[in-house]
Amino acid sequence: MSGRVHKSILNAEVNLLFYFLSLFLAFFSRKIFLDNLGAEFIGLTSTLSNILGYLNLAELGIGSCISFFLFKPLQENNRNTIQEIMSVYGYIYRCIGLLILGGGIIISLFFPLIFNDADISMSIVYFAFFSFLGSSLISYFINYRQTLLAADQKNYLVLAYSRSADLVRVTLQIILALTYKDLYLWVAVEFIFSIIGCLILNWKIDKEYPWLHTDKRAGRHLLKNYPAIKTKTRQIFIHKIKDFILRESDSLFIFAFVSLKMVAYYGNYILITSKIATVFSMTLSSISAGIGNLVAEGNKQNSLKVFWELTTIHHFIAGFICFSIYYLIEPFITLWLGCEYILDHNILILLLLYLYMSNSRGSVDMFNFSYGLYGDVWAAWVELVLNVAITIVAGYYYGIAGILMGKIISVFFIIVLWKPYYLFSAGLKHPVSHYLQGTIRYYLIFATAFICGSLAANLLPINPASSYLQWIVYAVIIVSVFTLIECSGLYLFAHGAKDLSSRLRKNKQ
């Protein structure tokens, strides 16, 4: 097994392990925290986290940019360049940290107005906020070096240490909440463990890279030697801020054009679909650094081969998610919450169309990132303006369906059509017609598998909405039929499927 593939698999395994452990503990702990610390306090922590989330927008693009510039020196084992880039990174992150600290202090001055009606003392508000702020600033002033681990395909080390500390922290908070029910103690544990996690992680970084010595003051002067970092950072920032705005605007548009109740109804669908998609995206995101390493080698033919292998995986996952959700989400919501929470079926169809386009694009995004192709800033603005304009008009007349139309149309023109063209013309240097011919096959294979799976679903004498047991039996049968047809079709007709199958067999040996 090659080192790159081995590290990708190890990253994925560790990622999934801690994801499910954290997910289980999150559901378990939330009930205990609500019962013993109160809904007001849990609502406060969520609100303060959201405020910090907006402050952290100042970082958008920096980490991704630095990872891109580390791929080549890591490939060449150029330690001097790595140290210079990390020094520049440390200087930039220190500036961002100071900016966030200043913004946090200014926002905190308005807390008596923001939390005027909250049934909670201002002392715990300030104690919690500055503890959370301190935990966040540790990443900017000290933990910035963990980006080197991610770029070097060793993100499993970051996950293993940081997530282990998180699991221990939450477990201790559960015990203290049950024993003392003290809000200050809960917050103190949160802050103390961020410091402990920082110390352990930096000890591991020093052990992995004993030669790494960064100088933030030198980074200020070294930045002049890397003008491309400024350029790429600005480009990536625009793309990231566009993604943030579009991701966070759905609830606002639904509230504006439909109702607050429909925000909750639509939120149920998004909660389910996002959890399913996250499992797969976390697994595949572990490959990103490996793709950067591959591109740095400069072998275009090998890059194209791996691109089609990843495209096969992404289209299979997109099809799997969409078929499963189409037939299983409505009976599940009926069992979970009641049939009154079911949205119009046309909304589900539009949502799945958007999900397929979003989840099948992953390989294009990975390679665009690895080639540093963020110069199409105009595309981010076009997607944003197109989405908002269509959403305002269509959302006014068609509600949630209209809001989804805005997302679908903007994603189709920019993500489905433009981004692959940009990659093949500027990165892979291959005719884009080759991409179009390949992706048409994926769509036809998915359509065939969907029709066969639908026939199985309609012929089954099972009502999945009658009980959880029948839902499980129904799910296993129809998803198995779909998966069998989809995998067979991909293997026989799709680009990259045979290469992927061969690679997986070799890795098992």
- Do the beta carbons of residue 165 and residue 197 sit within 8 Å? yes
Name the burial class of residue 155, with classes exposed (0-12), middle (13-18) and buried (19+) by CB atoms within 10 angstroms of its CB: buried
Residue 241 amino acid letter: I
Q: Which two tokens stand for residue 346?
A: 């046309």
Residue 441 amino acid letter: R
What's the pTM value of the predicted model, to 2 decimals?
0.79
Q: Which two tokens stand for residue 371?
A: 């080639």
Instruction: Please say whether the dihedral angle defined by the alpha carbons of residues 239, 240, 246 and 247, taken in this order, is positive or negative.
Output: positive
Any idea of the CA torsion for 364, 70, 64, 58, to the nearest 10 degrees? -160
Residue-wise pLDDT tens for the chain (509 aa)? 455 566 666 776 777 777 778 777 876 787 788 889 987 888 788 788 878 877 776 666 677 778 888 888 988 899 999 999 999 989 988 988 999 999 999 999 999 988 887 788 999 999 999 999 999 898 888 878 888 888 888 878 877 888 888 899 999 999 999 999 999 999 999 999 999 988 888 888 899 999 998 888 888 888 888 888 888 888 888 888 888 788 777 877 888 888 877 887 888 888 788 878 877 776 777 677 678 778 877 788 888 999 999 999 999 999 999 999 999 999 998 998 888 889 999 999 999 999 999 889 889 988 988 888 888 999 999 999 999 999 999 999 999 999 999 999 999 999 999 999 999 999 899 999 999 999 999 999 999 999 999 999 999 999 999 999 999 999 999 999 999 999 999 999 988 888 888 877 776 55
Q: Which two tokens stand for residue 492?
A: 């026989």
Provide the CA 250 distance to its chain's centre, in angstroms: 17
351 CB-near residues (< 8 Å, 6+ apart): 269, 273, 404
- Do the beta carbons of residue 144 and residue 205 sit within 8 Å? no
Residue with tokens 């697994």: 283
Q: Within 180-215, where are the H helices?
A: 183-208
pLDDT at position 425 is 93
508 CB-near residues (< 8 Å, 6+ apart): none
- Report how far residue 467's alpha carbon sits from residue 332's, in angstroms, rounded to the nearest whole number: 9
Any idea of the CA torsion for 76, 78, 82, 85, to the nearest 10 degrees? -90
pLDDT at position 286 is 66
- Do the beta carbons of residue 183 and residue 126 sit within 8 Å? no
Helix (H, G, I), strand (E, B) or coil at 226: coil
pLDDT at position 1 is 41
158 CB-near residues (< 8 Å, 6+ apart): 146, 149, 150, 201
Provide the CA 72 distance to its chain's centre, in angstroms: 24
In degrees and rounded to multiples of 5, residue 121 shows phi and psi of -70, 150
